[in-house]
Structure 1
């Protein structure tokens, strides 16, 4: 029988432009806070999984980033594993830590994600996104985006990463098929920026109206700047434990159950076959593993690298019907106080998106929610939470995705 797994502690830095801090310093803060939250010591950790996607490209730390960051904190002897899985890196590190504990290999494991994306040369930072699709066949990317969203003549609208073009093409496909509007996408962004005002760890804490979002600088249509995640520095960490590890905790009642943790890649399917999308397939696996359904979910953190991403994932995870995600946001269903709050943290658009830390930051928020420790952002009575974290691009969808289901 597989070992049950709990989250014992969480920690994260403020997400921001940390001009005076490097990856090891950011990671150390998140790890110290996660251990303190769990009531554990460094010596209690038996394995560590360290996620970072940009450290090699931006700091030249091409190898052993985790060993350097964590041994610098005093971690010794334990196995350490470096994880890279595009924007799903953080959730993947957590999945590996959970798997190690569930298999009975260790009692207590640590998942960490950290990035320093704001560097002096902004072009270098933007260029890292060009490595998250098949670089051996760039024509395939162009063909896929044209098939999804049609030809777009918007090269003149200003600097952006290639993933804003990718999300824009996905959004235009959704608009064409379901009638989703730019205003509905703006409603998601406005909602998430409103949530972020109450999150002192968010990079941006400014409220935007729907009209503010629509009138902001345009990127690839239908996206504007407030609909998109910024470049962010930061770190997050999660401590997971099995039953024996749980006995060591003084405050066992604050532990949160990991009901499901799945990571996967897609299957070959027509671009319009939404029911075969990687997010949908993984959600079904996660719900089966957790023994719950989307109707049981009380709060969600979804990968909104753009506001459209939240619409898409809310539908793929079954939190609303296909094509209904935009209308749900416009009607307030997914806002705090609504039937199913999504991204109460402010999401990636405003909280920030330090790639390797993002999935763990989602879990940080959901653990706070399930413990009823989220303050003004609290979803009353939250018992079941779901996170979706995806990244890269392949054949019309994310190259990798992860779905995590947690229970109080």
Structure 2
């Protein structure tokens, strides 16, 4: 298979943008990525468009990618619409990588756009039920789908399990969230830039015990884009050394989680060990999700979760900086764009242009994002191993 390089990245700030359309958000991200790659619309040979909730929030159920791309000058080329809940953006990038790696095209664009906020809060929160098996949904408490997304109830159970089985404490969860808010305060693209400390996180409104309102990701609007190509372009060459997507094990058959399967396969394809990763962006729709991702991605040895959570291990200056963008908790979580926003951050870090968030001089990075829930487990995950090739 051909080597695949990241030619350019671009994104909007994430936030609550009731007055902005998908077309508007998409335009900003596309203009940014084309400028970064020094390419034009005519250079793109395939487009993979990621979105999760437009059908439920805006009513644009079909041809979402074509609708956003048409006014930007795209036409004739294949435009693929990709939906895989929170993993949609990572899925789009994986497909773009496959198209280039297989020789189907030289240059492809992965574009994720999400317009999740709506004035009708019940409509907004209930839309997230579609990221589960609605016929066999996990148990939730009163208010799920009306004053919060149902997924927060799962986050709470996972947090309780980590406290019981791994020894994590409320202070640990507060520290993880405060780390995210510190990073987010340094990121001009972040939804939440307030820089909350541990006590503020712990003292925030309790949503579902022990998850406070500042321990989970906000509902974000935004867009992000990545151009991949066989051609390196100018500047540091960043190769996608491994790209994989995996789903959860079949019903009734024990097996690795989707995150473990995807990251293991991506590392194998890249010829890289998890211990070689120097910076990572992992799925952290809540503090519990981040802790689980550390071990499922092979980054944290089993049993060391409390040690990592109670120290600055994953902070700037720590041994393995994780989610320097602020993660989903602070940068925000625009479902179709989140996986691509992770890659945006890692490319900034590998290029050495992340400003106050710069985590040394990393060469090897991991992006992992999960999506949806079936029978309690995350239904799908993508993993991308990025390597800067120094001349």
| TM above 0.5 | yes
Q: Which residue is equivalent to 1:342? A: 322
Alignment of 1:296-311 (within 5 A): 296-311=276-291
Q: How much has 1:155 moved relative to structure 2?
A: 5.7
Given candidates 237, 240, 249, the residue that maps to 1:258 is 240
How many angstroms apart in 1 are the aligned matches of 2:191 and 2:288?
Answer: 20
Given candidates 176, 199, 222, the residue that maps to 2:210 is 222
Q: How much has 1:159 moved relative to structure 2?
A: 2.3
Q: Which residue is equivalent to 1:382? A: 362
Q: Provide, for residues 258-305 of structure 1, a one-character-per-residue CA deviation record: whole Å limited to 9, x for no partner.
A: 01111110114889x8x8222222221111011111110010001110
Any unmatched runs of 5+ in structure 2? Answer: none
How many angstroms apart in 2 are the aligned matches of 1:238 and 1:307?
Answer: 27
Q: 1:132·1:393 contact (CA, 8 Å) conserved in 2?
A: yes
Given candidates 359, 364, 368, the residue that maps to 2:344 is 364
How many angstroms apart in 1 are the aligned matches of 2:143 and 2:210?
Answer: 14
How many angstroms apart in 2 are the aligned matches of 1:167 and 1:391?
Answer: 13
Alignment of 1:30-179 (within 5 A): 30-138=29-137, 141-142=138-139, 159-179=147-167
How many angstroms apart in 1 are the aligned matches of 2:379 and 2:162?
Answer: 19
Q: 2:166·2:306 contact (CA, 8 Å) conserved in 1?
A: no
Between stretches 163-172 and 368-377, larger displacement belongs to: 163-172
Poorly superposed stretches of 4+, deviation over 6 Å: none
Q: 1:154·1:220 contact (CA, 8 Å) conserved in 2?
A: no
Any unmatched runs of 5+ in structure 1? Answer: 146-152
Q: How much has 1:188 moved relative to structure 2?
A: 0.5
Given candidates 178, 181, 187, the residue that maps to 1:199 is 187
Q: 2:166·2:305 contact (CA, 8 Å) conserved in 1?
A: no
Change (3 A) 1:232 1:110: same
Aligned residue pairs total 387
Q: How much has 1:14 moved relative to structure 2?
A: 0.6
Change (3 A) 1:172 1:270: farther
How many angstroms apart in 1 are the aligned matches of 2:188 and 2:303?
Answer: 33
Q: 2:313·2:320 contact (CA, 8 Å) conserved in 1?
A: yes
Partner of 2:114: helix, strand, or coil?
Answer: strand
Q: 1:108·1:239 contact (CA, 8 Å) conserved in 2?
A: yes
Change (3 A) 1:38 1:321: same
Partner of 1:401: helix, strand, or coil?
Answer: strand
Q: Does 1:235 align with 2:223?
A: yes
Change (3 A) 1:270 1:379: farther
Between stretches 318-327 and 39-48, larger displacement belongs to: 318-327
Q: How much has 1:357 moved relative to structure 2?
A: 0.3
How many angstroms apart in 2 are the aligned matches of 1:194 and 1:260?
Answer: 30
